[in-house]
Structure 1
Amino acid sequence: MTTHLSRRNLLSRAAVLGGLLTVSAPLVACSRTEPGTGAPGGDADLLTALRKRGHVRVGFAGEAPYGFQDGGELAGEAPTLHREIFTALGIPELRPTLTEFGALIPGLLAGRFDVVSAGMAITPERCAKVAFSEPEFVSPTALMVREGNPKGLSDLASCAAKGVRVGVLTAAVEGGYAKAAGVRDGAVVSVGKQQDGLDALLAGRIDAFALTGISLRWLARTNGSAAVEVLEPFVPVIDGVKQYSPGGAVFRTGAVSLREAFDDELARITGDPGRYVGLIGKYGFTEREVPPRTLRTAELCAG
């Protein structure tokens, strides 16, 4: 059995510089609903309408490395994958709308855009309002340690066995993972944001920083001179249950044909790890983030 805890809404969201994905329309703060092509009432024929229109309106939240703005252009995991998919579907252009993370689903339901392109975690609560694609990625946990891994760590169980101090983001799921692995309460150190964890590690206040491998690799990349390294990711287990944090694209529930066509193209990408990494490896995604074939959105939505 597997369960899949949402953690994306627990992390601080900071847009940082990275690779670019060029889009042919400028980024805007809002988008007008276009009659017959994006409003909820037209969702049954939305795939056909988008092909005729030649572009898809995507909402994103400015969260690196999932979907963010850099110099007036759109970058990140989700926009890169989605552009590849929509191009294959005959919809060659993304027109992005920058939106607060908490306003993405309301904006989608109001017809401000056609799809959420933000690596949003798939949860039962969200599934009650919208329809998710199959998973685009999973988020295995990893440890950031000082260069050379002086404590000889590998995962949270090794942290518990060696009695080291583990940094976690305040209110994020890694604190629970650490305690379940046997790390004593006094050795779990909360930090406010990702950069605080790296700084605490370099200062010797913690011996490891636990977060998703995706986020830690991005953090290491944006602190290129820091004497740290990110260890191999692992999937935490609580009471015999693997803890995944999958994310995907988000559609209105009526956009069935669009979502099904999207899923078909997504499966071609996730079924080819080399292609997957070739597309989004520059954002810190590896073969470890490729969703298992057995991981299905219907299961995630059921809880």
Structure 2
Amino acid sequence: MADFPNLSRRGFLNRSAAVGGLLVVPGLLSACSRTDAGSADGAGALDKLRKQGFVRVAYANEAPYGYLEGRQLKGEAPTLHREIFKALGVDELKPTLSEWDGLIPGLQAGKYDVVSAGMAITPQRCANAIFSEPEFISPTALMVKKGNPKKVTDLASAKAAGITVGVMSGAVEGSYAEGAGISKDRIKSLQKPQDGADAVKGGRIDAFLLTGISLRLLAKTNPDTEVTEAFLPELDGKKQYSPGGAVFRKGNEDLRDAFNRELKKIVSDSSRYVGLLGEYGFGATELPPATLKTADLCKG
């Protein structure tokens, strides 16, 4: 896959041990059991979901990918996945909100059936779970104070300016910053997107590095900031396009394959895709190319 090597959004290397950081919203969610969606080899996973009438999904509460607004789940993943699962005969999503680093461990432990968080497809994650084909691609950007006082446009200019850059804890953007030659003492880890915006406004960091689509949404509620034009960071000379997808437990390949069939119908129709996801900032530029395949991404 020469055109799209090493594409990733979040770079967390998943733990296979205890599940950490799992947050359940009281009153909104039903209790999760350890019962798997299917048998050990995945046979009948989709049939079971159809019979029970719901699929258990996990979100990381990161706008615009999947987040809670009041008592309503919104964003790219809930919207797209509701459409797909309804087409598969499963009418309800039962959501659990999780800290980012608890998503795959929770999936492995049987807490839910699908991770629906726009998670990057990386070889490390492919060793622990199975991914759908890409749902989107998203370049990277920098959030800065209004007026962009340091005049940064990308990571090369950030390095040249000697600024301090914030990244999400455990996210791939940290490796982008290091790969651009920014020293570790100039890279600050933050727990939530709003923490990054607050740090920019408060002068604790000069720029916050995240996907452009996330930052544009974040800037709407942080008017003292602005977002640079999106750019493609590089690692080892390879451009990073940042594709995300749904994540399934190993052994549930039948469920993943059925999901992919419906996903293909949507990403093959740009007007349908934009109609579904446009309100969250996803347009034709976020459509994954037909040549971008999960099997290639898993190889690295």
Please tell me the TM-score bracket, short chain as reference: 0.7 to 0.9
Counterpart residue type for residue 218 of structure 1: L
- In structure 1, the partner of 2:18 is none
The 2-side partners of 1:26 and 1:171 are apart by: 28
Q: Distance in 2 between matches of 1:103 and 1:172?
A: 13
> In 1, are the aligned partners of 2:57 and 2:94 still within 8 Å (CA)?
yes
> 1:134 Cα shift?
0.7
Unaligned regions of 5+ residues in structure 1, if any?
16-24
Q: Secondary structure at the match of 2:6?
A: strand
Two-structure CA RMSD over aligned residues (Å): 3.4
TM-score, normalising length from structure 2?
Answer: 0.77
Change (3 A) 1:128 1:159: closer
TM-aligned CA distance change 1:159 to 1:264, over 3 Å: same
2:92: which partner in 1? 93
1:186, CA displacement in angstroms?
Answer: 9.5
Instruction: Give the match for residue 7 of structure 1.
Output: 10
1:285 is matched with which residue? Answer: 282
1:192 corresponds in structure 2 to: 190
Number of the residue aligned with 2:142: 143
Q: 1:74 to 1:154 in 2, by over 3 A?
A: same
Match of 1:133? 132
Letter in 2 for 1:33: T
- Asked if structure 1 preserves the Cα contact closer than 8 Å seen for 2:32 and 2:112, the reply is no
State the TM-score, normalized to the length of structure 1. 0.76
Deviations 1:230-284 (A, max 9, x none): 2321111234311233221112333233211211221222233343333233334
Letter in 2 for 1:118: A
Q: 1:1-303 residue pairs with structure 2 within 5 A?
A: 1=2, 2-5=5-8, 7=10, 9=12, 26-31=28-33, 33=35, 38-41=37-40, 43-149=42-148, 153-160=152-159, 163=161, 165-169=163-167, 172-178=171-177, 180-181=179-180, 185=183, 188=186, 190=188, 192-193=190-191, 194-203=193-202, 207-223=206-222, 226-303=223-300
Q: Distance in 2 between matches of 1:112 and 1:201?
A: 36
Greater shift, 117-126 or 284-293, is seen at: 284-293
Unaligned runs of 5+ in 2: 14-20
Give the aligned length.
284
Do the aligned partners of 1:165 and 1:187 also contact (CA within 8 Å) in 2? no
